[in-house]
Amino acid sequence: MKNIDELLIELQQQEKELQFDTISNQDAISIGLALVEAAKKDSLPIVIDITRAGQVLFHAAMPETSPDNDQWIIRKNRTVSRFHSSSFMVGRKLEKSGSTMEEKYLISSLEYAAHGGAFPIRIKNTGVVGTITVSGLAQEDDHALVVKVLRTWLNQA
């Protein structure tokens, strides 16, 4: 198992590597469907959400999920939108500092979630314009699934 410093370096590298030139509605649908196929293959109980500039471009709920997963997505997306980093990265930085969101940023964990699963849609030379989010697994698994599918999709695009 990686120590926290090694993990943070890996997460930073992922965010540098997994950037877009542009992202269309059709791109979001293609990425969303790739996540659905990954979920079907392993019978994963996840909800998938892709949002750009406040507009939901793709949303799907696999079997054995609940409205609670949607609430986690909302909270994880807020975290990415505020910090322009993956929700997993924000959580690991808080873990390293020994702080909570309430202590460090004076924001409520009822509205923000520093748990893995929301990844920033970053346009090269522009910045963060949205999120690709999964909820339903352990946080490191939510994050890893998004990274795996996104890496494959970007390498094929």
- What integer pLDDT is reported at residue 55 of this predicted model? 98
Q: Strand (E) positions, 1-156?
A: 47-52, 55-61, 118-123, 127-135
- What integer pLDDT is reported at residue 35 of this predicted model? 98
What is the distance, to the nearest Å, from the Cα of residue 74 to the centroid of all Cα atoms in its chain? 11
Q: Are 82 and 90 in contact (CB under 8 A)?
A: no
- Residues of the chain below pLDDT 70: 1
- What integer pLDDT is reported at residue 31 of this predicted model? 98
pTM, rounded to two decimals: 0.96
Phi, psi of 84 (to 5 degrees): 55, 35
Nearest-Å Rg of the Cα atoms of the chain is 15
- What integer pLDDT is reported at residue 1 of this predicted model? 56
- Determine the Cα–Cα distance for residues 49 and 60; give it in Å rounded to an integer: 7
